[in-house]
Amino acid sequence: MPLKALDIYKLLPRKNCKECGDPTCLTFAMKLASGKGEVDRCPYLDEQTRNILGSSTRPPIRLVRVGVGERSFAVGDELVQFRHEKTFYHPPGVMVAVSDLWTREKVQEVVARVRDTVIVRVGTDLRLDGVAIRGQSGDPSTFRKAVEAVEDIADLPEVLMAGEPAVMDQGLAVCGHFRPLIHAATPLNHEAMAGLARDYGCPLAVKPDSPGDLEALVARCTDRGVKNLVLDPAASSLHRFQNVSSAIRQQAITRTTPSLGYPVFLDAAATGMQDAAIVTGILRFASVIVVEDPGPASLLALLTLRQNIYTDPQKPIQMTPGVYRVGNPGPDAPVLLTVNFSLTFFTLQGYLEAARVPCFMVIVDTEGLSVLTAVAAGKLSEALVAESLKKFGMESEVSHRSLIIPGYAAPLSGRIEEATGWKAMVGPRDAADIGEYLEKEWKH
Amino acid sequence: MALQTISSWSGRIGTVVLGATPSEGGSRSIRYTIGGEQDLPFVGDPPSGHLPLVAYELCDDPAIWPPVVREFLGDLAGDPGAWAREAERSYRPDLVRLFLTSTRKRDFQDYAGLRRTIEEVLQQATLPLIIEGSTDQAVDSEVFAACGEAGEGERLLLGTAEAGRYRSVAAAAMAYGHAVIAQSPIDINLAKQLNILLRETGVPADRIVIDPYTGALGYGFEYSYSVMERIRTSALKGDADLAMPMISGAPDTLTIREVREASPAIRQDVAMKWELYTALSSALAGASIVCVRHPQTIAPLREAISAHWGGAGEG
């Protein structure tokens, strides 16, 4: 259970020494209670108090950073189970796997693609996040060479995947100071792996034999001084992963099991159904997802799904009201009215482009509401249409005075005609029918 | 030691039966029960309720069907009966969903032709059938009557009822013993309102399937995803007016820019992946029926759903 500020205050020295940076012990306690303070800033706490405070005042899911520099990413620090309850904050890092059994050229070809691929959607650059280097040779110097091949051409975040501490040690000798994720500490090797993670200051994935053993293995690693952990639930199937990952999320955010308050790792390639695993990972709380080079089609779909799911649901995506051109419309081109809900806009724009009829789209400000909702809520009115046509200077753009309005705005057609002096033509309700509509109604 | 979510839901999703076998007065080779969940999708060992189904969508006038599918199918797309039979035999969906796109032609009046098309599809394919009728109020009444009658005894799923347009489809469903798809525009309150309207018209809850409307991935899918999650959690908290199974098909998926503008070498693959990512996400959000149009999406989608279920699956 989270502690209240006053409960925390009682555990503090109450001497207001200011050494923590706060003016009083009470303000420090309030910070801790809200999850914004660091217990370690108070130098006067004994170990037992520190443990009590540590587990109840840190964020429910620890924020863990992988990599350094511009492309580094942070995961964790999530607060909800459903995105509609607030939002998801830190999208999962998607790491493309290479193997130390591959040639240097093959490794670098994949790494260059991860480094250079950018997809621009809705004004945002979407990228893959890094490289996972699989130590499949079991040989320290072979692994080291593979890590060098990656490091030589890219400053990308890395996951080092090797079960033998001696192999891991050689990888860390190359990139250990660039905060790679070490994968993984197991029941057999965790002492040595935790030692390496502590020495290099790297995040450490813990992978027990079965999900139920996560807590115990986490405790053994934190006891050895490793703070930045990532949980690999070692699920045997997508069914198990989705169940276990949901349970981890639930128990972490409710602080039922504080030792599960870490980001979750998923090796999507290992499931044998990579696309399905990627979907599950994105939707079900994975924070680091390892994939085999996904190819252009899956890449596009996965980056888009991740963008969708990590969009703040409280902000409807709105288009800036104004005139948008499809093709190169002339003075006799059709003028189509619609709302500034981005889903409506992009859907209509897509069908207009497919119809290959150059035209003007007049986007009016309905505060991001769809046509149906905007009409019902009175946000789409004849006054707004008249004002928008004037403001956007449509009268000088076209030689005619015909405005195609959405099918769902049909009840407004008379009032729009009166308010604007334009003829209102009622278009289809479904954007999919716009091509046929223009073909039949406009060309006549 | 097991690691499992702690559930304290009080509600349960109702069930809807689709398809009637000869012993039940129909001619389908199988019947399905959908819904029945008492927890979040795929949660539990085994999960509660029934395995989500994959519906394959086809139509009787392919002029407005996605070019990427027409390109893949060739001439098959012109013959709904042959199309349905080939889909059932080669692509192996759980259900077939027939869109009567011919009714969208201006001044449509060929109701006898519609009956023939439906009878043909029912003869050529043995799976339970979903039929999407007209989208125009002027012909709704006759179109839905034709659908209802032609499929009498088959326990079809008929679409689509909307807030301003539900009487014809509801009447046809009640008269001929079918279930109804109730579609609302990505809004949990409107979904609930429509279910209440349908119930007041006389459609029982076990004949209603909610369609919350699904935007294409990258084109508003996140709104649909969250509305599905909200409908599902509201129902599990005990809201009986939302406790119906859901159907999700993102009609724009294969005509979005990413598919249209993909290079020919990868266009089919982009189409398939886009549908797979969308439909699987919808199933994880709680949809009991997910619909696709590209034949190649069906197998990986069914396999993925089954893997989430725990591998074993069920009928």
Percentage of residues of chain A with pLDDT beyond 90: 70
pLDDT band, very low/low/confident/very high, at B313 (cuts 50, 70, 90): very low
Tell me which chain A residues have a C-beta less than 8 angstroms from the C-beta of B3: 211-212, 214, 233, 243-244, 247-248
- The residue among A313, A421, A341 whose CA lies nearest residue A83 is A313
Closest CA to B183 of B147, B130, B139, B145: B130
pLDDT of residue A169: 97
- The model's confidence at residue B186, banded by pLDDT at 50, 70 and 90, is confident
CA distance A298 to A247: 28
pTM: 0.86
Write down the pLDDT at residue A4. 79
- Contact between A253 and A285 under an 8 Å Cβ cutoff? The reply is no
Q: pLDDT at residue A123 above 70?
A: no
- Given a contact cutoff of 8 angstroms between Cβ atoms, the answer to whether A221 and A254 are in contact is no
Say whether B273 and A305 touch across the interface (CB within 8 A). no
| CA–CA gap between residue B273 and residue B295 (Å, rounded) | 12
Phi-psi region of A225 (alpha: psi -120 to 50; beta: other; left: phi over 0): left
- Identity of the residue numbered B180: V
Å from B124 to nearest chain A CA?
Answer: 29
Return the pLDDT at A354: 83
Distances (CA, A) of B296 to A371, B73, B274, B308: 34, 11, 11, 20
Is residue A37's pLDDT more than 80? no
- Sort out which chain B residues have CB atoms less than 8 A from A440's CB and list them: 106
Point out the residue among A121, A238, A351 whose CB comes nearest to the CB of B307: A238
Query: How large is the average pLDDT for residues B85-114?
Result: 95
Q: Indicate if the pLDDT at residue B137 is higher than 80.
A: yes
Between A220 and A370, the higher pLDDT residue: A220
Predicted local confidence at residue A444, as pLDDT: 64
Q: Which of A249, A305, A345 to mutate to test the interface with B (most CBs of B within 10 A)?
A: A305
Of A121, A238, A250, the CB nearest to B5: A250
Residues 6+ apart with CB under 8 A from B22: none
Letter string b/e over residues B278-296, b meaning 16 or more CB atoms within 10 A of that residue's CB: bbbbbbbbbbbbbbbbbbb
Nearest to B234 by CA among B41, B6, B10: B10
* Mean pLDDT, all residues of chain A: 92
Beta strands in B124-277 (DSSP E): 129-132, 157-161, 179-183, 208-211, 246-248
Could you check whether the bond before residue A87 is cis, i.e. omega within 30 degrees of 0? no
Instruction: Give which of B297, B301, B291, B250 is closest to B272, Cα–Cα.
Output: B297
Taking all residues of chain B, what is their mean pLDDT, rounded to a whole number?
A: 94
User: Within chain B, what is the greatest distance between any pair of CA atoms?
Assistant: 66
Residue ranges of E strands in A192-236: 204-206, 229-231
Distance from C-alpha of A239 to C-alpha of A245, rounded to nearest angstrom:
10
Whether the per-residue pLDDT at B305 is higher than 70: the answer is yes
pLDDT-derived band at A41 (thresholds 50, 70, 90) equals confident
Which carries the bigger pLDDT value, residue B148 or residue B315?
B148
pLDDT, one tens digit per residue, over A46-92 is 888 887 777 666 789 999 999 999 999 999 999 999 999 999 999 99
Strand locations in chain B (E): 15-18, 32-35, 53-59, 95-99, 129-132, 157-161, 179-183, 208-211, 246-248, 287-292
The whole-angstrom distance between B53's CA and the closest CA on chain A is 16
Q: Is the pLDDT of residue B315 over 80?
A: no
Task: Check if the beta carbon of residue A152 is closer than 8 Å to that of residue A176.
Answer: no
Q: Show which of residues 118-177 on chain B sit within 8 Å of chain A, judged by CB atoms.
A: 135
Q: What is residue A287's predicted lDDT score, i.e. its pLDDT?
A: 98
| C-alpha closest to that of A431 among A323, A326, A314 | A326
User: B314: pLDDT confidence band, cut at 50, 70 and 90?
Assistant: very low
Mean pLDDT of B8-27: 96
Report the C-alpha gap between A291 and A276 in whole angstroms. Answer: 11
Pair of tokens at residue B53: 């189904």
Average pLDDT over residues B101-129: 95
Contact B217 A309 (CB under 8 A): no
**Residue A2: its pLDDT value, please?**
61
A412-437 pLDDT per residue, tens: 999 999 999 999 999 998 888 899 89
Question: What CA–CA distance (Å, rounded) separates B155 from B173?
Answer: 9
Q: Which two tokens stand for residue B88?
A: 């059932």
User: A246 vs B43: CB contact, 8 Å cut-off?
Assistant: yes
pLDDT of the residue at B135 = 86
Structure tokens at A405: 């309005």
Q: Assess contact for B46 and B60: CB atoms under 8 A.
A: no
- Dmax of chain A from CA atoms? 86
Q: What is the pLDDT of residues A227-253, one digit of tens each?
A: 999 999 988 899 999 999 999 999 999
Cβ contact (<8 Å) for A276 and B303?
yes
Mean pLDDT of all residues in B82-103: 96
Tokens (6 digits) for B292: 């696709």
Confidence of residue B222 (pLDDT cuts 50, 70, 90): very high
Q: What is the pLDDT of residue B311?
A: 59
User: Do the Cβ atoms of B256 and A432 come closer than 8 Å?
Assistant: no
Give me the residues of A, 311-340, that contact B with CB < 8 A.
311, 313, 317
Residue A1 has pLDDT above 60, yes or no: no
Burial A79-112 (b: 16+ CB within 10 A, else e): eebebbeebbbbbbbbbbbbbbebeeeebbebbe
Contact A327, A356 (CB under 8 A): yes
| Residue A378 banded pLDDT, cuts 50, 70, 90 | confident
Q: Tell me what the mean pLDDT of segment B144-167 comes to.
A: 95
Sequence-ordered list of residues with C-beta below 8 angstroms from that of B75, at least 6 positions apart, any chain = none
Least Cα distance to A126 among A76, A87, A178, A91 occurs for A91
Position B1 confidence tier, pLDDT thresholds 50, 70, 90: very low
Residues B295, B76: contact at Cβ < 8 Å? Answer: no
How large is the ipTM?
Answer: 0.96
pLDDT of res. B312: 46
**If you ran DSSP here, which 8-state letter would residue A318 be given?**
B
Angle between helices B221-236 and B188-201 (to 10 degrees): 60
Q: For residue B125, what are its two tokens?
A: 């394919």
- Judging contacts by C-beta atoms under 8 Å, the chain B residues touching residue A297 are 262, 266, 269-270, 272-274
Burial B65-78 (b: 16+ CB within 10 A, else e): bbebbeebbeebbe
CA B187, CA A370: separation in Å to the nearest integer?
Answer: 11
Closest CA to B251 of B224, B284, B229, B232: B224
- Say whether pLDDT at B177 is over 50: yes
**Cα distance between residue B38 and residue A181, in whole Å:** 38
Does residue A353 register a pLDDT over 90?
no
Q: How far is CA B114 from CA A193, B64, B76, B83, B144, in A?
A: 69, 17, 18, 16, 10
Lowest mean pLDDT among A2-16, B11-25, B114-128: A2-16
pLDDT, one tens digit per residue, over A153-212 is 999 999 999 999 999 999 999 999 999 999 999 999 999 999 999 999 999 999 999 999
Work out whether the CA dihedral B89, B95, B99, B100 comes out positive or negative: positive
